[in-house]
Amino acid sequence: MQYRRSQTAGGTYFFTIVTDARRRFLCAPQNIALLRTVFTEIKTNHPFTIEAIVILPDHLHCLWTLPAGDFDYSMRWRQIKSAFSRQCGQQCKGEATRARVNKKEQPVWQRRFWEHDIQNELDFQNHVEYIHYNPVKHGLTNAPADWQYSSFQRYVDHGIYPYDWGAEKPMKFGDTTGHE
């Protein structure tokens, strides 16, 4: 069976992107800076809006909205992953897996990524909350506000969340929200 990706032109999508073998290097300061640079470069030539994002040591989640008439998020992710991989230091490069050793690749990212086409405002809200709560879910912090590699503070600044959102009690998300 062949997987078919959603293709809603101008749609909003949730993504999960994972490092190869779940190696934990994304939150190194130089890699955060590189991710920001790469995202900015790709957005210049192929616009999209980052609605929400969180970067964790071994994966990232984000919500993008594409321009009207455009559904090619795969090309954008291919360019982002490729540019980051080319410029990333040795701590990003892992042992080449057997499947890749013949191509002499040093994998940085898992080959595939997870995407979900956002269906409505509630689906959007659930995925934004999932993104911002993810560092707490993974035990990296006790509150979303304590994780610096996230769009959470932007949501606080715009009055969408109180500063202490997500710090009171564990949050649960349904089967249709998020993907690890």
**Contact 26/32 with Cβ under 8 angstroms?**
yes
Is beta strand 49-55 parallel, antiparallel or unpaired with respect to 114-117?
unpaired
126: left (phi over 0), alpha (psi -120 to 50) or beta: alpha
Q: pLDDT tens digits, residue range 41-97?
A: 999 999 999 999 999 999 999 999 999 999 899 999 999 999 999 998 766 765 544
Q: Does the annotation mark 149 as catalytic?
A: yes
Q: Which two tokens stand for residue 118?
A: 């956002």
Q: pLDDT tens digits, residue range 68-78?
A: 999 899 999 99
pTM for this entry: 0.87
CA dist., res. 78 & res. 80, Å (int): 6
Report the top-level CATH class of 12-157. Answer: alpha beta
Break the chain into its structural domains and give their ranges.
12-157
Residues in the chain: 180
Select which of 133, 149, 155, 161 is catalytic: 149
